[in-house]
Structure 1
Amino acid sequence: MLTEANESPAVVERLLRGQARVIGEVGAWLRDHPPALVTMAARGSSDHAATFFKYLMEVSTGIPVASIGPSVASVYKQRLRLPSAVHFTVSQSGASPDIVALQAAAKDGGARTVAIVNVADSPVAREADLTILLGAGPEKSVAATKSFITSAAALAAIVSSAAGDTGFKRGLDALPEALSRTSMIDMAASQEVIAASHSLYTCGRGTGLGIAMEAALKCKETAGLHAEAFSTAEIMHGPLRLVERGFPVIGFVQDDMSFDNNCEAMQKLSNLGARTITFSSKPASGLSVLVPSTGHGLLDPLVALLPAYRLIEAVTRQKGFDPDQPANLLKVTETM
C-alpha cells in the first residue's frame, strides 16, 4: 500500500501527459455542447473520486452531476432516459457486472459514455464511447491508493478542459509536484492520536468531502477503525452528539471559499474536546498538517490525501494488521 501510494505523483504526471488528447475530447463535449446532466457510476473508492468530481464540475461549470445506483440497471432492469447526458464510469478493474450494466443502460438511454479505468481490456473500456486509461500499473494491495488519486486527477483534468479556466489549468499542472512534496510531511503526532482510537470522524466540504469519504474507507478497510465521513456542515447536526473529549476528527480544509466556515467548524469541534487533525495548505486549529498547495484550492484536498494514506498505513501496521491483505476483502469485488 505504501509503495503504491508513493508512486502516485509519477503516475499522475504520466496520465496528464499521455491521455491529454482524450481528456481534451471529453472536455470539448462538456464545453461546446453542455449537457443538461452528467451522470456517474462507481463503487467503493471510485465512488469517492466521483464525489470529488461532482463538486469540481458543479462549482466550475454549473453542470449538475448525479450518481446513479448501478442496481437500477443490473437488478431492477430499469431503462434510463438520458438524452444529451454524458455518463462517466469510474473503475479500477472495469469489470463489475453492475457498472457494466449501468453503462449499457446509459448508452441505450441516449447518453455519451466515458470510461475511466486502469484495465484497458475490460468490459467497461471496450464498450465506452471514449476511454481514459489511468496507466497506474498493477495495484497489488487490496486498498486502492494510486488508482484513486489518478482517477481523481483524470476527472479534474476533464473539468479543467471543460471550464477553460487558466488558473485551474496551472493548478492541475502543479499537481504532480505538489504530491511529490508531501513526502517531507511528518505524521508522527497524528499517528499517535489515530492509533489510540477505536472510532473517528473525517470531514470536508466541497471537493474535500470526497477525500474525507476516501480517508474514512481506508481507516475501515485497513486499520479496522470505525470511521464515518461527513460534510463539515452536516457534522454539526446529529453526528455532533458523539463528539466527546479525546474523540478524533480528521478535517480536510482547502483554501477556497469554504475555508473560513471549515476552520470555524474544526475549532468548534476542538472546543468540545475533539482531537482535531486538519489537513490544509494554511495553518488551522488542533494538529495542523500543512500540505503543499497546487495554487488552486479546489484541487488541494487531493494533495492532502497522499499523506493521509501514509498516516493510515502506518497506523494499520502499528495495530499489527497487514494493510495489503485486510480481513474479509478482495481486490476486485464483482457485484450485481
Structure 2
Amino acid sequence: MSKEAHEAPTRCAEQLRLNSDLVRDAGARLRELAPPFAATLARGSSDQAAAFGKFLLEIYGHTPTLSHAPSTGSLYHATSPNFRNVPLIAISQSGKSPDLLAAAEEAGAKGALIIAIVNDANSPLAELADIVIPVYAGPENSVAATKSFVCTLIALMHLVAEWSQDGALLAALGQVEEVLTKAANTDWTGVTDMLTSAGDMFVLGRGPTLAIAGEAALKLKETCGLHAEAFSSAEFAHGPMTLVGEGDPVLALAPLDEASTGLNERLEDFAARGAKVIAAGRAQDVSSAECTLPTATDCHPALGAIAQIQSFYALANAVSLARGHNPDSPPHLNKVTRTL
C-alpha cells in the first residue's frame, strides 16, 4: 500500500501526458453535446471519486450531476429514458464488476453517452463505453486502492477542465506532479498514536474535500478496522455533533475555498468538548485543532484536496500496522468486488 501510494504522482503526470489529445477531444464533444445534466456510476472508493467528480462538474462545469445507483439498472432495470445524450461517467479500477457493467449497458441502451474511467483499458466496461479514459495507475496489488484512486481524481479533474474550459482548472493540471510529489513526501504519521487505540472517529470535509473525507473514512475502516464516518462539516451540526465527546478523535480536512467558512468555529466546539482534533488546511481555518498536519495551501482547491488524500495514505498505512493489521490484505475483502 505504501509503495503503490508513492507511485501516484509519477503515474498522474504520465496519465496527463498520454491522455492529452483524448481528453481534449472528449471535452470538445461534451461541449457540443451540451447535456442538461450528467451522471456518475461507481461503488466503493470509485464512488468517492465520483462524488469528487460531481463537485467539479457542478462548481466548474455548471452541470447538475446525479449519482446513478448501480442497482437501478442491474436489479430493477428502471433506468430513465431521459438518459438520452446524457454523459454517464462509469468509474471502476477493474472494469469488471457485474452490477456496474449491467447498469452501464442498461443506460447505454437508453441513449446515455458512456464514459469509462478505468485502470484496465481492456476491461469489459471499457469495451462497452463510448469514450474510454485510462487512468494509467499500473498494477495495484494492495487490496486498498491508493494510486488508482488518486489517478482517477486527476482524470476527472482533467476531463472537467477540458469540458468546462475553466482557465484556473486547466492551469492547475501543470502543477499536478509537483504538488502531489510534495504531498507524498509530507509526513502525517506523527498523529498515529492518537488513532492507534481509537474505537471510532469522524472525518470532516466540505466542498472539494468532502469526497476526500469519505475516502479517508473508508480507508480507516478497510485497512485499520477503525469505525470512521465522514460528514460535511456544515451538516455535522445537524445531529452528529452530539456524539463527539472527551477523547474522541476528529480529523478535519479543510478545503482551500469558500467551503472552509465556519470550520474553525466548529473545531473550537470539538476542542471545548475535549475531543482530539487533527486538521489539515490553511492556518486560519484550523487554528483551533490540537494537531495540524502540513498540506498544500498555495494551489487550486481541487488539487489541494487531492494532495490531502495523497498525504493521508501513509498515515492510514501506519495506523493499520500500529493496530496489528495488514494494510495490503484486509480481512473479507477482494480487489474486485463482484456485486450483483
Task: Please indicate, yes or no, whether the TM-score normalized by the shorter chain is above 0.5.
Answer: yes
Amino acid at match of 1:102: A
Describe the shift of the 1:139–1:133 C-alpha distance in structure 2 as closer, same or farther (beyond 3 A): same
Instruction: Indicate the SS of the match to 1:186.
Output: coil
* Match in the other structure for 1:225: 226
* Match in the other structure for 1:36: 36
CA RMSD, 1 decimal: 1.4
In 2, the alpha carbon distance for the partners of 1:96 and 1:48 equals 16
In 2, the alpha carbon distance for the partners of 1:117 and 1:111 equals 18
In 2, the alpha carbon distance for the partners of 1:145 and 1:159 equals 21
Instruction: Indicate the SS of the match to 1:131.
Output: strand
Stretches of 4+ aligned residues off by more than 4 angstroms: none
Whether the aligned pair in 2 keeps the contact of 1:55 and 1:206 (CA below 8 Å) is yes
- Counterpart mapping for 1:243-262 below 5 A: 243-262=244-263
Whether the aligned pair in 2 keeps the contact of 1:143 and 1:222 (CA below 8 Å) is yes
* Match in the other structure for 1:15: 15
Q: Offset of 1:294 from its aligned partner?
A: 5.8
Return 5+ residue gaps in structure 2 as ranges: none
In 1, the alpha carbon distance for the partners of 2:27 and 2:121 equals 21
- Counterpart mapping for 1:1-336 below 5 A: 1-81=1-81, 82-282=83-283, 284=286, 285-286=288-289, 287-293=291-297, 295-336=299-340
In 1, the alpha carbon distance for the partners of 2:318 and 2:186 equals 13
Describe the shift of the 1:118–1:127 C-alpha distance in structure 2 as closer, same or farther (beyond 3 A): same
- Total equivalences in the alignment: 336
Residues 85-127 of structure 1 deviation map (CA, whole Å, 9 limit, x = unaligned): 1111000000011111111111111111100001122110011
In 2, the alpha carbon distance for the partners of 1:272 and 1:29 equals 52
Whether the aligned pair in 1 keeps the contact of 2:208 and 2:301 (CA below 8 Å) is no
Q: Offset of 1:193 from its aligned partner?
A: 1.0
Instruction: Indicate the SS of the match to 2:143.
Output: coil
Residues 248-271 of structure 1 deviation map (CA, whole Å, 9 limit, x = unaligned): 111111210112322332232222
Q: Offset of 1:158 from its aligned partner?
A: 0.8
Whether the aligned pair in 1 keeps the contact of 2:42 and 2:100 (CA below 8 Å) is yes
Amino acid at match of 1:92: Q
Describe the shift of the 1:31–1:294 C-alpha distance in structure 2 as closer, same or farther (beyond 3 A): farther
Describe the shift of the 1:29–1:268 C-alpha distance in structure 2 as closer, same or farther (beyond 3 A): farther
Q: Offset of 1:137 from its aligned partner?
A: 0.8
Amino acid at match of 2:300: H
Q: Offset of 1:281 from its aligned partner?
A: 4.5
TM-score using structure 2 length:
0.95
Whether the aligned pair in 2 keeps the contact of 1:53 and 1:207 (CA below 8 Å) is no
Instruction: Indicate the SS of the match to 1:201.
Output: strand
Whether the aligned pair in 1 keeps the contact of 2:320 and 2:326 (CA below 8 Å) is yes
In 1, the alpha carbon distance for the partners of 2:283 and 2:148 equals 27
**Percent identical:** 37
Describe the shift of the 1:263–1:25 C-alpha distance in structure 2 as closer, same or farther (beyond 3 A): farther
Bigger CA drift: 185-194 or 125-134? 185-194
Whether the aligned pair in 1 keeps the contact of 2:201 and 2:229 (CA below 8 Å) is yes
Whether the aligned pair in 1 keeps the contact of 2:197 and 2:323 (CA below 8 Å) is no
In 2, the alpha carbon distance for the partners of 1:310 and 1:14 equals 22
Instruction: Indicate the SS of the match to 1:333.
Output: coil
Residues 48-107 of structure 1 deviation map (CA, whole Å, 9 limit, x = unaligned): 000011111101122011011111111112243212211110000000111111111111
TM-score using structure 1 length:
0.96
Instruction: Indicate the SS of the match to 1:314.
Output: helix
In 2, the alpha carbon distance for the partners of 1:246 and 1:85 equals 48
In 1, the alpha carbon distance for the partners of 2:2 and 2:141 equals 11
Return 5+ residue gaps in structure 1 as ranges: none
In 2, the alpha carbon distance for the partners of 1:195 and 1:42 equals 31
In 2, the alpha carbon distance for the partners of 1:321 and 1:188 equals 16
Q: Offset of 1:331 from its aligned partner?
A: 0.8
Residues 135-185 of structure 1 deviation map (CA, whole Å, 9 limit, x = unaligned): 111100000000000001100111111221221122222122111012442
In 2, the alpha carbon distance for the partners of 1:325 and 1:265 equals 36
In 1, the alpha carbon distance for the partners of 2:54 and 2:125 equals 21
In 1, the alpha carbon distance for the partners of 2:279 and 2:265 equals 12
Amino acid at match of 1:333: T
Residues 244-297 of structure 1 deviation map (CA, whole Å, 9 limit, x = unaligned): 011111111121011232233223222222211112244523111121246211
Whether the aligned pair in 1 keeps the contact of 2:188 and 2:294 (CA below 8 Å) is no
Instruction: Indicate the SS of the match to 1:307.
Output: helix
Amino acid at match of 2:309: L
Amino acid at match of 1:330: N
Instruction: Indicate the SS of the match to 1:276.
Output: strand
